[in-house]
Structure 1
């Protein structure tokens, strides 16, 4: 309880199509902050919120049919983070039954270190546990030290068998894997 009444706790929920614009704005802000000095400034400046809004609206609309999810962390006033995940897309992991990929995972820069990411990760892993997902993976920019540290703290490990992706040496992506995610999400 605070001076204004009961405190409404932040919550994670499945995204709705009308969340797409906030998700797009959040992604642009997160990319421009997290990838400054990693990706070319022109690329970051050129991010198109309108195009991303359309992209996320489509992803949210088709998620269930594709076996995917888009979750948001909603603090009651705005969306402060989101995760998108679903079936594995990498050829070597699609052959393994039930393996999931974390496609996107972002929080508003001003919310970094506040628990938004931990909450979203718990919710993501909880869904994986409910589905019996044996392993999950993600791709992260090799030079994204903050992101890599977050994932490593949560038990994700660099997968040395995966070839780095990307043609720009400054923007190489490396794969991380999490085994038995159901034991970490509850």
Structure 2
């Protein structure tokens, strides 16, 4: 099946919210509380996406999505890192990359992350980072198969529900 990668627009907000809610419920079950995951609200997520996509952000940040037969099956968003130990001119952060569970293992994620890394290189970044839940072995294996390495950074995030441990992964970009 062919995939098409394109920039997300404000009109894509409901589709992005659907992918986020569906993928989070599948990927994070057992890692985040069931109450939190079950409480993810499509309307609230759609409004958040509308706001993000309205702001734009220029060439150094964007949201890409992947479609199959005009159906959004995944997305990724990147921007300058906000990690204090990195240079935001040189290092871009992938803040999110998610696909629907029914396309896991089909190559869609590889296509999407390749497009994102190309876009980040074109935006002038020399390196890319992302944070992943320590217990998310499926995602960690995906990143490692695609050349990412844990750089030793660990953070405990207490912002949403439970204290969760996140590891930072890093990859150099070809510009």
What count of residue pairs does the alignment treat as equivalent?
172
Which residue in the other structure is 1:146 paired with?
A: 138
Which residue in the other structure is 1:14 paired with?
A: 7
Which residue in the other structure is 2:156 paired with?
A: 165
The yes-or-no answer on 1:130 pairing with 2:130 is no
Which residue in the other structure is 2:90 paired with?
A: 98
Q: Distance in 2 between matches of 1:118 and 1:150?
A: 9
Higher fraction of strand: 2
Q: Per-residue CA shift, 1:68-89, capped at 9, x if unaligned?
A: 1100001123100100001111
Query: How far did 1:163 drift?
Result: 3.1
Which residue in the other structure is 2:33 paired with?
A: 40
8 Å CA contact 1:133–1:182 kept in 2: the answer is no
Q: TM-score, normalised by structure 1?
A: 0.86
Query: How far did 1:166 drift?
Result: 1.6
- State the secondary structure of the residue aligned to 1:172: strand
Q: Per-residue CA shift, 1:89-136, capped at 9, x if unaligned?
A: 11111x353210000000000110111111111110111222231111
Moved more, 95-104 or 30-39: 95-104
Q: Distance in 2 between matches of 1:138 and 1:159?
A: 10
Q: Distance in 2 between matches of 1:133 and 1:21?
A: 30
- Which of structures 1 and 2 has the bigger CA Rg? 1
Q: Distance in 2 between matches of 1:126 and 1:97?
A: 16
8 Å CA contact 1:28–1:49 kept in 2: the answer is yes
Q: Distance in 1 between matches of 2:59 and 2:67?
A: 24
Q: TM-score, normalised by structure 2?
A: 0.91
8 Å CA contact 1:128–1:182 kept in 2: the answer is no
Q: Distance in 2 between matches of 1:52 and 1:140?
A: 20
Q: Distance in 2 between matches of 1:37 and 1:87?
A: 30
8 Å CA contact 1:139–1:175 kept in 2: the answer is yes
Q: Per-residue CA shift, 1:24-81, capped at 9, x if unaligned?
A: 1111110111111111100101111111111111111223348311000011231001
Unaligned runs of 5+ in 1: 1-6
Q: Distance in 1 between matches of 2:50 and 2:10?
A: 5
Higher fraction of helix: 1
8 Å CA contact 1:88–1:99 kept in 2: the answer is yes
